[in-house]
Amino acid sequence: MRLPICSVLAAAAVLAGCQRPAPLDYSGPVAGWASWGGSEAGLRYSPLTQITPENVSRLEIAWTYHTGTLRNPEPMQFPTLETTPVLGEGRLYLCSPLNRVIALDPETGRELWTYDPRVNLKGIYLQQCRGVTFHEDTSAPAGAQCRSRVLTGTLDARLIALDAATGKPCEGFGEHGTVDLRAGLGEVQPGEYIMTSPPVVAAGRIILGGHVVDNLKVDVPAGVVRAFDLHTGELAWAWNSLPPDRVDPKIAGVSDTYARGTANAWSVFSVDPERGLVFVPTGNTAPDLYGGLRKGLDYYSSSLVALEAATGRVVWHFQTVHHDLWDFDVPAQPVLFDFPGPSGPVPAVAQATKPRHIFILNRETGEPLVPVEERPVPQGGAVSGETPSPTQPFPANDAYTVYPGDLSEENMWGFTPWDRGKCRERFRAHRYDGRYSLPSLEGTVTFPFSNGFLNWGSVSIDPARQILVTNSTRIAAIVTAIPRKEADERLKRGERFYPAFGAPYAFKHEWMLSPFGAPCNPPPWGTLLAIDLKAGKRLWEVPLGTTRELAPWPFWMKLGVPNIGGSIVTASGLVFIGASTDGYFRAFDVASGRQLWAQHLPAGVQATPMTYRLKPGGKQYVVVAAGGHKYLGSKTGDSIVAFTLPD
């Protein structure tokens, strides 16, 4: 007699297809996602527990919204959907690559309102908006217009305040809801000064920096950080990243412009309201790869700076790269958390950097909580007029160095012996002296590329388990210095590279790839890493992504791929991340690094996700943008996708 199929499976202990899934747990916490990093501290952590390692494999798409940004307006321009929505007053707020602000119903994806600032795209090749800021003014009367606001910066350098309920501009803010951020910057060419990151709110002020195209020329607009009154839009203070012994004439009231060429602050800030501090990651002093003309102007470059939110006064700063000649600006939002010290929790900040390091600093003083060593770095090959720093800071504990290895001719990689040989030839033909090898006339292999091992996706921290999670990219490049006269002639012929006008050299960057398009450095080319903060040890590391979208079959391999975007962690023990170029959105077990779920989306997921649960009887949602990235080679699109568990 034939046994029923379920009896056979039960006897074999394979019951998944015959048992009903456990019902959803509605007893857990309710939580939102109020800021770009989940909170003002930027932890990218959620206390939600409805989606668990046991049921995450059942996730399904709840709704999809299309921003409508699919076509490039000009050949040299490309929109990149990197937005992370925020939740406020029962609405999701996000932005398109062209700064259209959108409010959605978080449970259905229904569009509630949109606002189009109609940005002027002249000269802007980088079209992206990573998010907007929601702020509720609890001191204002209930129902008052603009009691809750959505704040956004634009690609053409405007700060806009919108009523969160209607999307209409706040008339009392600036000029009909808009502040012109070019004021005080002097001459600004189209596309030289743009806003890509959301501002923060602290001490009744809107505080923001700006993205300066700092590899274009020496005399770029100032990388000033400014604070504007939350209600009126009036300038409250400005901090230009000049050395302490120099006084900015604009702040002194002597001139109408800020000192030019200073390091900008293009990434996301964090806020410690208890201590009245705002944490600012800074970029490079122009023109990035040549420092012979800086004359000390890079004092605050590639640093984490703690400013007093009420005044803009510098409280402390920590420089992650001295005299930066590699475009290793600090790209990631600082993450504020309590570090498990020997005598108890210590207020700390974790700062991820491009060169491969994660620095753990005292939030109040800037002193390292994980010891930092100054180690000698290469000095050979420097171009004329350059004086490189003899040392660079390294975490003494290698657990906080995401990749401790270096390159060699022997570890060059390829899909076949032939293309591996070609990579070895390229390596031999260029200079390489180890970490921080200097840009040179003959061409220098630099590892990592200027995008860095770590970028704006930052790190996520589970404060209960004391686990830090980060994704990293591992790809080498070749940087070649081109003398000024030769560079100008080549630019006239239509060649493209970093022109660095005003400097004695321009610079060409090339990814170091095999003839088949694979990175020459050994895989994995992208990883997901967890660090046990209490033990000070690596917990696990796994490749992130496959070559499916980057290579033809049969070269689909789980080698890890270059990635842009970040992760989030939930109290139930899950890590959600897209970031990889293969178009997958994934969930991992935070304790083991085991992949538990993956969903292929219609475009690359070069954005950081978010999660929320609105009410006790409601479901937990996970939302992510799938828009791809032209420079990474992932498929482009315009989707906002929400996932939840079925009933």
pLDDT in tens, 494-515: 999 999 999 999 999 999 999 9
Q: Please report the pLDDT score of residue 29 as a whole number.
A: 96
* Helix (H/G/I), strand (E/B), else coil: 443: coil
Task: Summarize the confidence of residues 553-578 as an average pLDDT.
Answer: 90
* Helix (H/G/I), strand (E/B), else coil: 605: coil
Q: Whole-model pTM?
A: 0.95
Instruction: Please check whether residue 459 is in contact with residue 353, taking contact to mean a CB–CB distance below 8 angstroms.
Output: no
Instruction: Please check whether residue 276 is in contact with residue 302, taking contact to mean a CB–CB distance below 8 angstroms.
Output: no
Report, as residue numbers or ranges, the catalytic residues.
327
CATH of the domain at 250: 2.40.128.630
**Is 505 among the domain residues?**
no
Tokens of 373: 């060593």
DSSP-assigned letters across all residues of 236-302: EEEE----TTS--TTTTTS-SSPPSS---B-S--EEETTTTEEEEE--PPTTSS--TT-TTTTTTTT
pLDDT tens profile 371-427? 999 999 999 999 999 999 999 999 999 999 999 899 999 999 998 999 999 999 999
pLDDT tens profile 172-195? 999 999 999 999 999 999 999 999
Place 21 in a pLDDT band, splitting at 50, 70 and 90: confident
Estimate to the nearest angstrom the gap between the alpha carbon of 41 and the chain centroid: 15
Q: Which residue has the higher pLDDT, 252 or 501?
A: 501
Which residue segment(s) compose the domain that 292 sits in?
183-373
Place 139 in a pLDDT band, splitting at 50, 70 and 90: confident
* DSSP code, position 400: G
**Is 169 among the domain residues?**
no
Q: Which residue has the higher pLDDT, 427 or 71?
A: 427
**Is 315 among the domain residues?**
yes
The amino acid at residue 545 is: G
**Is 549 among the domain residues?**
no
Place 447 in a pLDDT band, splitting at 50, 70 and 90: very high
Q: Which residue has the tokens 């607009």?
A: 221
Task: Summarize the confidence of residues 76-99 as an average pLDDT.
Answer: 91
**Is 208 among the domain residues?**
yes
**Is 336 among the domain residues?**
yes
How many residues are recorded in the chain? 647
Q: Residue 155: is it exposed, middle or buried by C-beta count within 10 angstroms (0-12/13-18/19+)?
A: buried
As for how many domains the chain has, the answer is: 1
**Is 251 among the domain residues?**
yes
Instruction: Please check whether residue 386 is in contact with residue 316, taking contact to mean a CB–CB distance below 8 angstroms.
Output: no
Q: How far apart are CA 444 and CA 448, in angstroms?
A: 12
**Is 363 among the domain residues?**
yes
Place 323 in a pLDDT band, splitting at 50, 70 and 90: very high
The side-by-side arrangement of strands in the sheet containing 505-511 is: 444-446, 477-483, 505-511
